[in-house]
Amino acid sequence: MRTYAGHSNARESNALYRKNLEKGQTGLSIAFDLPTQTGYDPDHELARGEVGKVGVSIAHKGDMHTLLDGIPLGEMNTSMTINATAAWLLALYMTVAEENGVDRKLLQGTTQNDIIKEFLSRGTYAFPPGPSMRLIADMIAFTVDEVPKWNPINICSYHLQEAGATPVQEIAYSLSTAQAVLDAARERVDEATFPRVFGRISFFVNAGIRFIEEHAKLRAMSALWREIGRERYGVTDERHLRFRYGVQVNSLGLTESQPENNVIRIVLEALAVTLGRDARARAIQLPAWNEALGLPRPWDQQWSLRIQQILAYETDLLEYPDIFEGSKVVEALVEELIEGARREMAVVEEHGGAVEAVGYMKTQLVESHRARVQRIERGELKVVGQNVFTSTEPSPLQQGDDGGILTVDPEVEREQVEAVRRWRSERDQAAVDAALARLAEAARDESRNIMGPTLEAARAGATTGEWAAVLREVFGEYRAPTGVADAAASPDDDSLEQLRERVDRVSEALGRRIKILVGKPGLDGHSNGAEQIAVRARDAGMDVVYEGIRLTPARIATTAVQEGVHVVGLSILSGSHRELIPAVLEALRGAGADVPVVVGGIIPAADAEQLREQGVARVYTPKDFEITRIMGDIVDLVAERHGVAAGAA
Q: From the candidates 125, 158, 173, 245, which is the catalytic residue?
A: 158
Q: How far is CA 522 from the centre of its chain?
A: 15
Q: From the candidates 7, 215, 520, 577, which is the catalytic residue?
A: 520
478 catalytic residue (yes or no)? no
Q: How far is CA 444 from the centre of its chain?
A: 29
Q: Which of 624, 17, 80 is nearest to 301 (CA)?
A: 17
Give burial (CB, 10 Å; 0-12/13-18/19+) of 48: buried
Average pLDDT of the residues in 99-120: 96
- Per residue in 433-486, pLDDT (tens digit) is 999 999 999 999 999 999 999 999 999 999 999 999 999 999 999 999 998 988
- The DSSP 8-state label assigned to residue 409 in this structure reads -
- Per residue in 526-552, pLDDT (tens digit) is 999 999 999 999 999 999 999 999 999
**Amino acid (one-letter) located at 146:** E
- Average pLDDT across the chain, whole number: 94
Do 113 and 139 touch, CB atoms closer than 8 A? yes
CA distances from 430 to 371, 425, 435 (A): 56, 12, 9
Three-state DSSP at 546 gives strand
> Backbone phi, then psi, for 521, in 5-degree steps?
-75, 155
- CA–CA gap between residue 211 and residue 393 (Å, rounded): 28
Residue 204's pLDDT band (boundaries 50, 70, 90)?
Answer: very high
Q: Which of 400, 398, 466, 394 is nearest to 427 (CA)?
A: 466
**Amino acid (one-letter) located at 212:** I
- Per residue in 10-21, pLDDT (tens digit) is 999 999 999 989
**Amino acid (one-letter) located at 638:** V
3-state helix, strand, coil in the chain (%, to 5): 55, 10, 35
117 catalytic residue (yes or no)? no
What Rg value do the Cα atoms of the chain yield, rounded? 24
Average pLDDT of the residues in 64-73: 96
> Backbone phi, then psi, for 247, in 5-degree steps?
-135, 135
Q: From the candidates 44, 60, 61, 159, which is the catalytic residue?
A: 159
Highest mean pLDDT: which of 299-308, 404-413, 427-436? 427-436
Q: From the candidates 43, 524, 539, 607, which is the catalytic residue?
A: 524
As a three-state string, the secondary structure of 242-297 is CCCEEEEECCCCCCCCCHHHHHHHHHHHHHHCCCCHHHCCCEEECCCCCCCCCECC
44 catalytic residue (yes or no)? no
Residue 402's pLDDT band (boundaries 50, 70, 90)?
Answer: confident
* Start-to-end CA span in the chain (Å): 61
Q: What was the pLDDT predicted at 647?
A: 63
% of the chain exceeding 70 in pLDDT = 99
Q: From the candidates 4, 93, 360, 546, which is the catalytic residue?
A: 4
pLDDT at 649 > cutoff 60? no
- CA–CA gap between residue 371 and residue 377 (Å, rounded): 10
Instruction: Taking the CA atoms of 158, 160, 162 and 164 in sequence, report the sign of the dihedral they define.
Output: negative
Ranking 128-132, 228-232, 393-397 by mean pLDDT, the lowest is 393-397
CATH numbers and ranges of domains, the chain: 112-392 (3.20.20.240), 494-641 (3.40.50.280)
- CA–CA gap between residue 248 and residue 2 (Å, rounded): 10
CA distances from 294 to 58, 73, 115, 348, 576 (A): 21, 30, 26, 36, 11
- Per residue in 246-285, pLDDT (tens digit) is 898 888 889 999 999 999 999 999 999 999 998 898 888 8
Q: What was the pLDDT predicted at 152?
A: 96
Helix pair angle (451-460, 464-475), 10° resolution? 140
pLDDT at 293 > cutoff 90? no
As a three-state string, the secondary structure of 622-645 is CCCCCHHHHHHHHHHHHHHHHCCC
Q: Which of 427, 419, 345 is nearest to 176 (CA)?
A: 345
Q: From the candidates 44, 53, 362, 526, which is the catalytic residue?
A: 526
pLDDT at 400 > cutoff 80? no
Q: What was the pLDDT predicted at 648?
A: 45
Residue 410's pLDDT band (boundaries 50, 70, 90)?
Answer: confident
520 catalytic residue (yes or no)? yes
Q: What was the pLDDT predicted at 628?
A: 94
- CA–CA gap between residue 284 and residue 302 (Å, rounded): 14
pLDDT at 2 > cutoff 90? no
